[in-house]
Structure 1
Amino acid sequence: MSIGRRAHRPLIVLLAAVALLLGVGAVPAYAEPNEGGSKKLRDALEATAKAHIEAKRELDGSKKRQKRMATELAELESRLGELTALVGEVAAQSYRVGRLTPAAALLDSGTPEAFVQRAANLDMMAQRDGRRVRELADAREEARAAKLAINAEVREQTKQLAVMAKKKKEAEAALAAVSSGSSGGFSGGNSATARPAPRNSDGSLPSESCSVNDPTTSGCITPRTLHALQQTQAAGYKRHVSCFRSGGSGEHPKGRACDFSAATNGFEDRTATGGDKAYGDSLAAWHVRNADRLGVLYVIWFRQIWHPGVGWRAYSGSGSPAADHTNHVHLSML
């Protein structure tokens, strides 16, 4: 070894020691190279999440339409009952006294004035009774159409439930690579509900690119990710966050993910305990409660992963706090 190299060794050791004392040597939250598992797993999770969310949107829309139609049908049936009674009165009267023909009514008039009045009354009665009969027929047709429409919505709901069940199985099969089964999830955080992310006119989430500045780094994120970040912070979760990351894989390079540190001073290479663990539990639970409003793809925290199609599942990383997500909450967006 040369004299120059021997002279540099103490300096290198000193720098390493200083770095360790300052925390530079601590493993950051993004140390895990395969955030959320392999690319195949992430693609499967994204595909099943989108299909699940779309099916749920269709299901919810169908339920709303069915509820509205049921209300309209109840009103129609009430009107149908009234009209049936009115037409029944006309029929009963005709049965009791016999049908009053126009000729008989007019011939029974004693004066010209009475003749004109009876003619006007006959015309009015004919119009009234004819209108009632027509209204009754129309109401019956509307009720029939409403019942058919409700039946169609029920079939649509059955279809969407089948899609959701299928996508759940597909998501569970994909998660088998990193999950050992269902888990209990987390609770806590009574913060206000998040404001919904912008959607298309049909209620679907728009396609977005990494197009807005990331306030946590010098990179970019999608508008929906920024919205989720802002809503999370507005709900009171204001500890250190890091979103965009150019290296590695997953949603971070796409601007569709953020890591929320559990510790108050930023990412630490240790498993969260005490208040830090409670903070992470509350944050993960809040993200899940607001997942539909925000457009969440999945959440990872403390060896568990949440997906909209399957709920909370056990999650296994490579053992480090960063890989097992025991020092930060990971949020991926659609």
Structure 2
Amino acid sequence: MPTTMPSRRRARGPLIALLAAVALLLGSGAVPAYAEPNEGGTKKLQDALEATAKAHIEAKAKLDNSKRRQKQLVAEMGTLEARVTELTAQVGEVAAQSYRVGRLTPTSMLLNSASPEAFLERAANLDLMAQRDSRRLRSFTEARQQAEQAKLAMDAEVREQQKQLAVMAKKKKEAEAALAEVSSGTSGGFSGGSSSSAKPAPRNSDGSWPSESCSVNDPTTSGCITPRTLNALQQTKAAGYKRYVSCYRSGGGGEHPKGRACDFAAATNGFEDRNATGGDKAYGDSLAAWHVRNANRLGVLYVIWYRQIWHPGTGWRSYSGSGSPAASHTNHVHLSMY
């Protein structure tokens, strides 16, 4: 019996829906696996951003470490100066007594003894006085030397701080020069993301960041990321930013192939080929601001979002991509890690 028209329509219904879904996935509306092949512009710019940001962060760590040492030295200097003042008074008492009664020599003190017992007593007292005066003078000399060494150490820390400030100023100029091809100057940054509650990534004892390789599994892809990048990813999600994110990728330049970068989609559906607006734009604003606010805790190298880039040496600056939402970073927040 021939198939009726209604039954043929019913049969074609699921097929049409399936074909439409496939067309959507394969067509221009598909969500890409990653946001932008060449994150951060040309290789020259990527290398410059990485080098200047790292140099700035390292100089800042040395500067902070020097300031901590200087603070300790100031406290130590105060204690030593108080000790020197106290010992100066004691040495002054000895000198004043000698001036008033004359120099008491061992010979005169012992010859004036009325009896053998008095002789022995005076000999013992003479020994105690000699030990006391010797300790006072020795302590005074040592304390004064320690105070002088502390002062020299503080002077050295001041020179170290001046050196690191000069390095930071130099790297700022280099970063600005590198960004000149894609930036027209400073910009206002973004609001939101006021929390500074990110769990700090481990540092070396001197405050610097340890060197890390792409050694842990990336939960967003089948690749790998560094432990510091993983901490940043986990802390970002813990702060409430839980939309689609992709970190490692094997191709292209920048930090992604090194496991030191993540792209955070602004839209709830992932990397959409359009500029974020409304709630999606507000989400990206807040996320970018949060990453910057917690940059020192997490070890952030730089952040790119909505035609702006944050570099630790320059702050927020304008940023122009190739025009697409992916290249201009208007559909995702890019995070690069130290």
Q: TM-score, normalised by structure 1?
A: 0.89
Residue of structure 2 in register with 1:140 after alignment: 144
1:262 aligns with 2:238: no
How many Å separate the matches in 2 of 1:73 and 1:29?
59
Equivalent of residue 115 in structure 2, options 107, 111, 114: 111
Residue of structure 1 in register with 2:130 after alignment: 126
Q: Secondary structure at the match of 1:163?
A: helix
Equivalent of residue 243 in structure 1, options 247, 253, 257: 247
Equivalent of residue 215 in structure 1, options 213, 219, 237: 219
How many Å separate the matches in 2 of 1:78 and 1:38?
60
Equivalent of residue 279 in structure 1, options 269, 283, 290: 283
* Total equivalences in the alignment: 323
Work out whether residues 192 and 235 of structure 1, in 8 Å CA contact, stay in contact via their aligned partners in 2. Answer: no
How many Å separate the matches in 2 of 1:287 and 1:178?
22
Unaligned stretches of 5+ in structure 1?
Answer: 1-10
How many Å separate the matches in 2 of 1:197 and 1:28?
30
How many Å separate the matches in 1 of 2:106 and 2:257?
87
How many Å separate the matches in 2 of 1:156 and 1:266?
47
Offset from partner CA, 1:304-323 (integer Å, 9 cap, x none) = 00111111110111222222
Q: Which moved more, 1:257-266 or 1:19-28?
A: 19-28
| 1:86 to 1:31, Cα distance in 2 relative to 1, 3 A | closer
Q: 1:1-334 residue pairs with structure 2 within 5 A?
A: 15=19, 19-20=23-24, 25-26=29-30, 28=32, 30-334=34-338
Work out whether residues 186 and 284 of structure 1, in 8 Å CA contact, stay in contact via their aligned partners in 2. Answer: yes
Report the aligned-residue RMSD.
Answer: 2.3
Offset from partner CA, 1:25-55 (integer Å, 9 cap, x none) = 2464845332101000000111111111111
Q: Secondary structure at the match of 1:279?
A: helix
How many Å separate the matches in 1 of 2:151 and 2:117?
51
Q: Which moved more, 1:247-256 or 1:34-43?
A: 247-256
How many Å separate the matches in 1 of 2:288 and 2:174?
24
Offset from partner CA, 1:255-284 (integer Å, 9 cap, x none) = 221111122332223322333222212211
How many Å separate the matches in 2 of 1:234 and 1:196?
13
| 1:23 to 1:191, Cα distance in 2 relative to 1, 3 A | farther
Work out whether residues 28 and 322 of structure 1, in 8 Å CA contact, stay in contact via their aligned partners in 2. Answer: no
